[in-house]
Structure 1
Amino acid sequence: MILYFLNVNRINYKMIRLFAILLFLNSLVAFSQGYVFTGVVSDDASKPLESANVIAKPIQEKASLKFAVADNKGRYKLELEKNVAYEITVSYIGYIEEVFILESSSDIIAHDFHLKETGENLKEIVIKHEFKPIIVKKDTLVFDVNSFANGNERKMKEILEKLPGVEVDKKGIVTVQGKKVTKMLVEGKSFFGGGSRLAVENIPADALDKIEVIDHFNEVGFMKQVSDSDDLAMNVKLKEDKKKFVFGDVEAGAEVGAGDNGFYLAHIALFYYSPKTNVSFIGDANTIGKSTFTFDDLMRFGGGVSSFLSGRKSLSNLSSFSNDNTDVLKNKSQFGAFNFSHDLSAKLSVSGFGIFSKALMTSRIENNIEYLSNTAIAFEDKDRNAKNRAVLGVGNVKLDYSPSNKEKWYYNGQYQSSTNDLESVLNSTTNLGISTFETINKADNISVKQYVEWHKSYNNSNTTTFVINQAYNKITPINNWFTNEPFLQGLIPMEKDDNYTLNQIKKTEANSIDMLFKHYWIINNANHLYTVVANNHEYSAFQTSEKQILTDGSINDFSDKGFGNNIKYKLNDAYIGLEYKFRVGKWVNKPGLYFHGYHLNAIQNDNDHTVTKTLFQPQWNSDYEFNKSETLSFTYKLENRFPEVNQLADKYTLEFYNTVFKGNALLENEKYHTANLRYSKMNSYRGIIWNAMLNYSKKTKVIRNEVELDGINQFNTPVMTDNPETNIGFNGSFSKRIYRFNLKLNTRLSWFEYSQKLNNITTINKRDSQDIGLVFKTAYKKWPDISVGYTKGFSSFSGLTKSHFQTDAITSAFEITILKFWIYKINYDYLKNTYSKNQSNFYDMLDTSIFYQKKNNPFGFQLSVNNLFDVKKKYSNKFSDYMISEQSVYILPRAIMFTVSYKL
C-alpha cells in the first residue's frame, strides 16, 4: 500500500472528503444495529446520585461491555447492541449496588435505579466490582485504561487521545477539559521534572492500568486545603505485572528505497518501578527531525524554582534544544535522559534526573519583506542558510524529608550548562543592492539554582510555609559579522574597508535570592485567613562591547562613539500580604491585599539612578461549583513590572545586521490589570463537554519601543508612555458524542490595541485574529480510528496600513487494524495562506506507515514514509507594526524508513 502511494504526487483532498462521507454513511447503517438505554440513578429519597457508575456487562460472548457515568441529575445513557442480554450494575460509594438483568428479547429501553445506603463506615466498604470506567471525585478523575483501549496502542499518547475530554497536541502537551496538565507523575512520583512529552511518547501503552487527573494538585498532602494550587496533575498507575520488572522498548531504523540521505533512528525507553525505587532511562539518536521533548519540558527542566514563588523569570535560553524540527535541511540529534527516585527510609527520599542533548541542524529560510514606514516603503528579499550546534546538560536532585505527617522539608538543587554555536550566511537584496552577511555566534550559558521549602501543620487551624530560593545565571554570547558592504550607515561608526568584520560580546550575569513566609489560619470551614511576608532581591550585571576589525589588523572600537554598556542593576521587592478566603454555599472567594516596597538601583557611566516606590496590588480569586462536573472561576490581579537590565542600558547595542538598540535609564514600572474567566462543564449523559476561557489585560503604564525606520534599517529605544494597551483573548471548545462519533468545535479569538511611535508619528494599532475549527472523530473500538479537521483563520492589522490574511488548514488521520496484527496509519496536513490581492500559497504533507507485531511476540516491524509527497518548502505569512513578510522554509526530504522494535 505504501509503495502504491509513492507513485502519487498529490492526494486530492476532495477524495478525502468523499471518503469521510462514505464512512459516515456506512456508520449510519451500523447505528441501526444498536439502541439507547436510559434511566436515572437516585437514593431511596429520590435524590440524584451524581457520578454513579453504570456498567452493562454482556451475558453472551463476542459482545462488548458498555458503561456510563450519571450526570448531576442522576441521568445515564447506554448505547447497547440489539439481541444481546446484559447484566446492568449500578454502584456508588456508600450505597449498596443494584443489578438489573436485561434480556436479549426485551423491549425495555429505560430503567431507574434507587440505591440504599450501606450504613457502614466508608473505610469498611468492599466494592465487589473493581471495574469502574470513570470515577469522578471532587478534584479527581480516574480513567480505567482497559475501558477505552483496543489493544493496538503502542504509547501512552494513543491511550490519552481516547479518553473523554483529554487531548494531546503534536508537541506532547496534554489538556483535560481545556486545562493544561502541569505535572506528570508515574506511581505518584514526578517523571522527569513533571513534563508531559517524555511520558506520553515513551511509556508503553500496555503498561498502563489507570490514569488519574488531579486538579488543584499539591504534593504536600496537608497543604491541599489551603494552598489554592492551580496545578493540574496526571498520575499514571501501572499494571501490577509491570512492577518490580524492567519494561520498555528498543527500536532501530534505517532509510530504505531509492533515497541516499542516510536517515536513521535509534530509540530506547526502559523503566523499573518498585515500592522503594523507580528508575527510567530514555535514549534517542535520529536524523529525521524528531525531538524527544518540547520547549515546555525544557522550561520545566530549566526551572529549579519553588512553585510558591511566582514571577521569577529564568534567563536560560533553551529554545534551540526543543525544535521538533523537520523544518530544516538536516537534523542530527542525540539525547539521553535518566530519572530516578529512591526511598532511603520511611521519612527520607531522594529523586532526580539528568539530561543530555546534542543537536546539529542545517537550515534554509527565504523571506520576502515589505517595510512600511510613514514616509516610504522598502522591500527586501532574504535568503538565509545556517548551521547550528546546540549542546545541553542538566542535572537535578531533590530531597524529600517528612519528620512526621504534619511536617515536610524539600531541598532541590540544579546545575545547567549549554553551548549554542551558529554559523549563517544571509544574502539580502534591496533596491540599494545586494549584501552578504556571514555570522558566527557562540553562546555559553551556566545556571545554578536551589531552594529549600519547609511546611508545618501545627493543628487543624494553623499551618506555615517558609521558602528560600537562590538562582545564578551567566550568559555570554559572542557574535561576529562578516560582510562585503557597509551596513547600518549613520547608526554604527564603521570605517571604510575592503571587507567588514564586526565583533560583539554580550555578558549578562544575574543572581537572585527570594524568601517567603506564609501563615494559613483556618478559622472554620467557611473562613480562612492567610498572611504573607516576603522579599525578592535580584542583582544583575550587563556588559556589551562592539568593535570593527579592519583588514590591516587595526581595531575600530565603538566604545568611544556611544557603544559599550556596563550597568549594574539591583531590584528589591519587599512585600506583605493578607488573603481572606470565605465560602458562601457553593461560592468560594479569596480577595487579597498586597503592599510592595520596590527599590531599584542602576549604576552606569558614573550615573546612579534610583527608584523607590510603595505600591498597592490587590487581587481576587473566585470559584463557583454548580456541581461536580460544572465550574466557573474568575481571577483578577493588579501588577507592576519593572524594566530588565538591558532595557535600562543607555548606550547603543548592535542587535542584528539591520537593527540597533539603545536602552533608557529613566524607565520605571509598567502597571497592568489582568483578569481571567474560565467555565468548564462535562455532561456525561448528553456526551457534551464545554470549555471556555476569557482573558483580559490592560496596561495603564507602558514600556514600548519607539522605532526609527530608514529603508530596512531600524533604531529602537524603549520609552514610558501612558497610552493604554488592551489585550482580549477567548479560547473555547464544544464537543459532542453522537453515537460512535465525537464532534468538536474549537475557537480562538484575540484583539490587541496599542499605540506605536514610528518615525516620530504615533498611530493606534489594532491586531485581531480569529480561528474557528471543526474536528470529526470516530469513537468506537471496533472501527478504524479516523479524524478529520478543518480550521479557518483570519488575521488583520490596522495601523499605518491595513493588512488581512486568511488560512485554511485541513488535518486528517486514519488508523486501521488489518488481520489482527497489521496496523496501517495515514496522517495528512494541508495549509493554504491567502493574503492581500488574493495572492496565496499552500503546502500539504502526508506521512504513512504500516506496523506488524504478533500478540505476545516482542518483535515489531514497521515500514514508514515521512513527507511522502517530497514537499520542499513550507510557507507562512506574518505581519508586525511596520513589516509584512512571506516566509519559505526548506524542510527534510521524503524519508522511507524500515524500523525493528523489541518490547521488553
Structure 2
Amino acid sequence: MKGKIYLFLMIFFSAIVFAQKTVSGKITDEDGIAIPSASVTIEEPGKDAILAYGITNSKGEYKVTFTSAESNVDLKVKAFNQKPIIKQISNSDQTLTFKMQSEATEIKEVQLKTKMITSRGDTIAYDLKAFDSKSDRTLADVMKKIPGIEVNADGSILYQGNAINKFYVNGKDLMEGGYGTINNSLPKDAVQKVEVLENHQPVKMLQGKIPSDAAAINIKLKNSVTMTGRGEVGTGFGDPWLWNVKLTPMFFGQKSQWVANYKTNNMGEQVENEGNIIGFGSSWEGRRGNAAQNDWLNVENANTPNLPVRRYLFNNVHYLSANYLTNIDNKKEWEFKANANYTNNSVEREDNVQTVYAPTQDQAGSTITTSTRNNFYTDKLKGELIFTKNAKKGFFKNTTTFSQFWNADRAVATRVGRIGDQSLQSPTSSFQNSLSTIIPWKEKMVNLKSYINYQDDNQTLSISPANYLQLPLPYLLPKTNPTDPDQYATINFAPGTRAVQDFRIKTLDTSHSANISFTKKGWTFTPEVGFDYSTNKLNTNFDGLAVQDPLIPTVAPPDFASSLYENNLEFTEIVPSASLGINYKNDAWSLFANLPVNFNSIKAQDDVRGVSKSLSKTTFTPNAFVQYNFASFWKASLTGNISNNFGDIQTAYAGYMLLSPAGFNVMDANNPIPEINTKTAGSRIEYRNPLNNLFFNLNYRISDTKRNLLSSPVLDPTTGFTLIQYRNQDNTSTSNSFSGEIGKYFPKFKTNLSVNYRNSDTVSDAFFNNIQYESQNNNQSYGLKFNNTYFSWMSIDYNVSFSRNKQENVGLPNGGRLATNKGFNHNLAAFLYPLENHTIGFAWDQVNSSDGTRKFDNAFFDLSYQFSWAKKKIDFELKWMNIANRKVFETYDILASQNAVRYTTMQLRPSQVMFTVKFNFK
C-alpha cells in the first residue's frame, strides 16, 4: 500500500511541476487603450488543439498558464473589430504586450449562434438547447446529457463525480438543499442555461478567503419573472385501479420565489424522497440534515432487488410540499424562507430466501428457508423556518426545524415452518435549531454558531405467537468462557404467548462555538473554541414467557422479568475543543487545514444493569485539503484527515434487547467504551475543458481503521437466528480504492459519451461463532453511458455497468474463498419520432447476476406512445410497462460475516398500462 501512495504522490507532484509556463501581459488598441474581453489562446504548432486560454480584464491584462513538451508554441489573440494576432513564442515564462490593429468588416448577413459551452473564471455555462432531445420535458431530462454532470433518480446532481453543495434558481437558494422537486419538475423551455460554479463558497463574506472544493449549480431562466411548473394526471389498468397525479406550479421573481407540490400514485413511483436534503452547503452556515428516527427496533424486512424502484415498489403515496422565499428588506440582503412537507405512504413487499451456511469445524452446514411479507406505513410531517442575511459585510442564518413521525411496520414471516406476526409502532418527535452568524470587526471576522437538537423516540416491537422465536441466549449460570458457543442454549417460548420489546430514548444534542478570522495576503487564520454536550436516556424492557428446554433439564428457563432484559441507561458526552483553521487562496492554489484538539469526556451509567463506564481522552484530529489549478483546464488535489470516534449509546447497553425478531443484541458491561481511530488520505486529478467538451477525473483513496471492540455473532444454523455480542479485542480494517471517469461531448454528432471504472479492496478482522478470521473483499465495477440526438427521427440513452465481487475468509475452516459474484446491469431508452408531434418510446432494463454455478437473468421491457399538442404544450401518453409480465426477481448474494450464500426471489409489479396527460402550467 505504501508503494501505491508514493507512486501517486510522485505522479501528483510531477504533474504540477512538469513544464509549467506562464505568459502574461497587456493588450491595447493602436491608441494604447486597453481592450477588455479579448481572448488569448496557446496552441501547439500544427495542431488544432488549445492547450490553455485566458480573457483580458477591464484593464486589458491577461495571464495564461500552460504545459507543453514542445520548444515553441503558438499564441493567438482575438478581439471584436480587431485584426487577429498569431505569434510563435518560446516555451518559457515571459511577459508580452500586444497592440491590435482595428479591422472593420462589412457584414451582409448575421446569424447569431449561442455557444454550447462557455467558461469564465470558475463558472461554466451550458446552453440547454444544445443538449435536449424531442422527448425531454424537464430540467433533469436534459441535465443527464450534459458532459461532467450526473443526475440520480431522486434528482440529486453530481459534478465530476462529487455532489454539488448548492442549487440556485436565478441566484436564489429557495430549496435549501432539497432541490429534487425543482430538478424533476421545472420545464426545460423555461431555462436559458445551466451554470456550474466551481469551487463555490456560498457565504459571500468568505469568498476569496475560505476556499471550497465543491461545485454549485445555478439555473438561469429565460425571464427574470417566471410563472411555470409541470403537471401530470394519469390512470391505469390493473388490480387495483392505478393512478398517478403530479401538480407542481412554480413562481420565480426578483423578490420572491415559491414552489407548491402535490404528488400521489400507486404505480411504483417514489416521489416522497424529493424533499430530502441532498445539498448541504457550507459548515459556516450551521448544521443541515434530514430528520431521521432512531430506528433501533425492526420487524423482519423483505429484500428489495437491484432494479429501478418502479419495477418492484407496491405503494400508495401522497406527498405534499411547499417552499417559499422572500426578501424582507430593500437591499435584498435579508431572506425569509418557509418550507413544509407531509408524507403519507404505505408500501407492500414480499420475498422468499434460501440461505446456505457452509460447514465449519464445529457445525455442519445447513439450509434455512424463510419468507417475509411486509406492510410499511409512513406518516410524517416536517416544517422549517429560515432567516438569512448573506452579504459582503455580514452573515446571519437561523434555521428552526420541527419533525413528527407516526410510522408503523408490519410483517408476516415464515421460518423453518413457523409463522410469526410482527408489528412495530414508532412515533418520534424532533426539534432542531441551528444558528450561525459572522460579524465583521475591523479587518477581522467573528463567527458564532449554536446548534440544539432534541428528539424523543418511542418504539414497541411485538411478535405473536412468541414461540416463533427460538433464540440463542446464554445459560443463567456462571460461565467459564462467555465466548464458547456451548455456553448458549436455544430458548423456547410458550405457545400462545406474545413477545414484546419496549424501547424509548430521549436525545439532547448541543454544539456551540466561536471563532475569529484574520486575513492577510491571501492567508486566513481562524482560531476557534467550542463546546459540545449530548445526553441520551434509554429505557427498554422485554416481556415474554419461556418454557423449559427439554434437552437441558438442569437449566431453568430465563425469567424475562429480570433485569437481564432491562435497560435504564444514561449516556453523556462532553467535548470542549480548540482548533486553528488555516486557509490560503490565489489564482492557482487553494489550501484548507483545520487543527482541532478535543477533550473528550464520556460517561455511561445504568445502576440496574451494573454499567458504569467512563472515558477521558484528548485527541488531535487534523484534516487538510490542497488544490492546484494549472494549465487552465487541470486541477490536482490532496486530502487527508485523522478522526477519533467513541462509542455512542448503541455500544453501551448491557440488557438484552430484541432489536429484530432475528435475534437479541447485547453489549458486555465489562467492555470498555469503544474507540475508533481512522486515518484517511485521498488524491484527485481532474481535467475539464469546455472548449473541446472533454472532462475526466482520477481518484485514489486509502484508509486505515483501528477498533478496540470486535463484533462476535453467535448463529443457530438450524433456525438462522443470531445473538450479536462484542469482544474486547483490538482489530483493524484497511481499504483502498481507485476510480476514474472520462466523458466527452461530440457536438458534430450530438453525442455524449462517458466511461467509468472503480476498484476497491478491503481487509478486516472478523469473528464468527468463536472463530477469528480475516475477511478480504474486492469489488470492481466499470460502465459506459451514451446518449445521442443526432438524428431528427430518433434519440437514444444507454447505460451499462459490470460488477465483480470476490470474497475470501482466511481462517474459517472449510470456508476459504467464496464464489465470485458477478453482475451485469443495463438500461436502454430509445425514442422514435416517425411524424411531427408523435413519439414512440422503448425501454429495456436488464439485471443479471451469477455465482459461477447459477445465473439469474432479469429483463424488463416498456413501450409507450405519445402525442404532443404543440400549440397547448400538452402531451398524451399511453404506456405499457413490464410487457413480459415478469412477477419475481431472482438474485444471489454473499453473506461474508456468516460464511454463507443467499438465494432470493422478490415480488415485482406485474404488467400494467397507464394513460397520462402531461402539461406545463405556463
Sort the TM-score into its range (normalised by shorter chain). 0.7 to 0.9
The change in CA–CA distance for 1:314 and 1:202 in structure 2 (over 3 A counts) is: closer
Q: Tell me: CA distance 1:94–1:269, structure 2 relative to 1, closer, same or farther (3 Å).
A: farther
The answer as to 2:835 corresponding to 1:819 is yes
Q: Quick one: which amino acid aligns to residue 723 of structure 1? A: N
Kindly, what percent of the aligned residue pairs are identical?
16
2:504 is equivalent to residue 507 of structure 1? yes
Deviation readout 1:479-513 (Å, 9 max, x if unpaired)? 10113745334428967522231011111211111
- 1:762 to 1:309, Cα distance in 2 relative to 1, 3 A: farther
Question: Is residue 132–residue 144 contact of structure 1 (8 Å, CA) maintained in 2?
Answer: yes
1:756 to partner: Cα distance: 0.6
8 Å contact 1:598–1:613 — kept in the other structure?
yes
Among 412, 435, 460, the alignment partner of 1:425 is: 412
What stretches of structure 1 of length at least 5 have no aligned partner? 1-40, 55-67, 76-91, 101-113, 120-127
Rounded to whole Å, the distance in 1 between the matches of 2:907 and 2:83 is 62
Q: Over the residues paired in the alignment, what is the CA RMSD in angstroms?
A: 3.5
What is the TM-score normalised by the length of structure 1? Answer: 0.81
Query: Within 1, Cα distance between the matches of 2:509 and 2:282?
Result: 11
After TM superposition, the structure 1 = structure 2 runs for residues 742-821 of structure 1, keeping only pairs within 5 Å, are: 742-780=752-790, 782=792, 784-799=794-809, 800=812, 801=815, 802-803=817-818, 804-821=820-837
Residue 227 (structure 1) aligned with residue 210 (structure 2):
yes
- 2:656 alignment partner, one of 652, 665, 670: 652
1:846-898 alpha-carbon deviations (Å, 9 max, x no partner) = 22322221323143211112222211122332223113212221111112111
2:377 to 375, 378, 389: 389
Distance 1:534 1:671 in 2: 21
- Contact 2:284–2:436 (CA<8 Å) still a contact in 1? no
Q: Which amino acid aligns with 1:602?
A: A
With over 3 angstroms needed to count, the CA separation of the structure-2 counterparts of 1:851 and 1:896, relative to structure 1, is same
Q: How far did 1:363 drift? A: 1.3
**Aligned 8 A contact 2:524 2:582 in 1:** yes
Q: In structure 2, how many angstroms separate the alpha carbons of the residues matched to 1:329 and 1:796?
A: 30
User: AA paired with 2:876?
Assistant: F
Whole-angstrom distance in 2 between the partners of 1:714 and 1:735:
47
Report the AA paired with residue 639 of structure 2.
T
CA distance in 2 between counterparts of 1:765 and 1:311 reads 36
Residue 480 (structure 1) aligns with: 462
- Give the match's secondary structure for 1:226: coil
Q: Does the 8 Å CA contact 1:137/1:628 hold for their aligned counterparts?
A: no
Query: How many equivalent pairs are there?
Result: 793
CA distance in 2, matches of 1:585, 1:163: 27
- Indicate how the Cα distance of structure 1 residues 900 and 788 shifts in structure 2: closer, same or farther if over 3 A, else same: closer
1:629 paired to 2:633? yes
**One-letter amino acid of the counterpart of residue 718, structure 1:** Y
Q: CA deviation at 1:600?
A: 0.3
Q: Assess if the C-alpha contact under 8 Å between 1:754 and 1:765 holds in 2.
A: yes
Call closer, same or farther: CA 1:343–1:489 in 2, change over 3 Å.
closer
Give 1:64's aligned residue: none
- Deviation, 1:607, is 4.2
Matched with 1:253 is 234
Question: What TM-score, normalized by structure 2, do the two folds share?
Answer: 0.80
**SS in structure 2 at match of 1:189:** coil
2:202 & 2:51 partners in 1: Cα distance? 30
Deviations 1:258-283 (A, max 9, x none): x4430111110101122112111111
Which residue does 1:184 correspond to in 2? 167
Q: CA distance change for structure 1 residues 696 and 500 in 2, over 3 Å: closer, same or farther?
A: farther
Q: Given the superposition, is the C-alpha separation of residues 207 and 862 from structure 1 closer, same or farther in structure 2, using an over 3 Å criterion?
A: same
Alpha-carbon contact 2:269-2:313 (below 8 Å) kept: no
**Contact map agreement 2:339 2:384 (CA 8 A) in 1:** yes
- Is the Cα contact below 8 Å between 1:661 and 1:717 reproduced in 2? yes
Alignment match, 1:155: 138
Measure the CA separation in 2 of the matches of 1:452 and 1:306: 11
3-state secondary structure, aligned to 2:207: helix
Q: Which amino acid aligns with 1:421?
A: A
Aligned with residue 542 of structure 2, among 530, 536, 546: 546
Are residue 169 (structure 1) and residue 152 (structure 2) matched? yes
Structure 2 residue identity aligned to 1:744: S
Please give the residue correspondences for 1:532-681 in structure 2 after superposition, counting only pairs within 5 Å: 532-548=528-544, 558-560=560-562, 562-582=564-584, 586-605=588-607, 607-665=611-669, 666-681=672-687
Deviations 1:679-703 (A, max 9, x none): 2112345543212222222112354
* Equivalent of 1:855 in 861, 870, 881: 870
Is 1:467 matched up with 2:449? yes
1: CA distance, partners of 2:674 / 2:129: 58
Quick one: structure 1 residues 298 and 600, their matched pair in 2 at CA, closer, same or farther if it must change by over 3 Å? same
- Could you say if the C-alpha distance between residues 219 and 623 of structure 1 is closer, same or farther in structure 2, counting changes exceeding 3 Å? closer
CA spacing shift, 1:118–1:214, aligned 2, 3 Å: farther
SS of residue in 2 equivalent to 1:819: coil
What SS class does the counterpart of residue 558 from structure 1 fall into?
coil
Show the counterpart of 2:520.
523
Check whether the contact 2:704–2:734 (CA below 8 A) recurs between aligned residues.
yes
In structure 2, runs of 5+ residues without a counterpart are 1-23, 29-35, 42-47, 56-75, 85-96, 103-110, 475-489, 548-556
Measured against aligned partners, the alpha-carbon deviations of 1:395-424 in whole angstroms (never above 9, x if no partner) come to 01101246x741121111000011221111
Deviation larger for 504-513 or 730-739: 730-739
- Alignment check: 8 A CA contact 2:787 2:795 kept: yes
Equivalent residue runs for 1:355-394 within 5 Å: 355-372=341-358, 374=360, 375-376=362-363, 377-394=365-382
Residue 700 (1) aligns with residue 710 (2): no
How far 1:244 moved relative to its partner?
4.1
Q: Structure 2: which amino acid aligns with 1:715?
A: L
Q: Does 1:269 align with 2:251?
A: no
Distance 1:254 1:780, change over 3 A: same
Secondary structure of 2:807's match? strand
Distance 1:73 1:156 in 2: 30
Instruction: Sort the Cα spacing of 1:454 and 1:373 in 2 relative to 1 into closer, same or farther, 3 A.
Output: farther
Q: Is the 8 A contact 1:691 1:733 kept in 2?
A: yes
Counterparts of 1:287-298 in structure 2 under 5 Å?
287-294=266-273, 297-298=275-276
- 2:744 paired with 1:736: yes
8 Å Cα contact 1:792/1:808 also seen in 2: yes
After superposition, what is the alpha-carbon deviation per residue over 1:818-851, rounded to whole angstroms, capped at 9, x for unaligned? 3221222222111111114x21112111223222
Cα distance in 2 for partners of 1:834, 1:549 equals: 44
Give the direction of change, closer, same or farther, for the CA distance of 1:118–1:437 in structure 2 (3 Å limit): farther
Question: Helix, strand or coil for the counterpart of 2:205?
Answer: helix
Aligned CA distance change for structure 1 residues 51 and 290 (closer, same or farther; 3 Å): farther
| Letter in structure 2 aligned against 1:298 | N
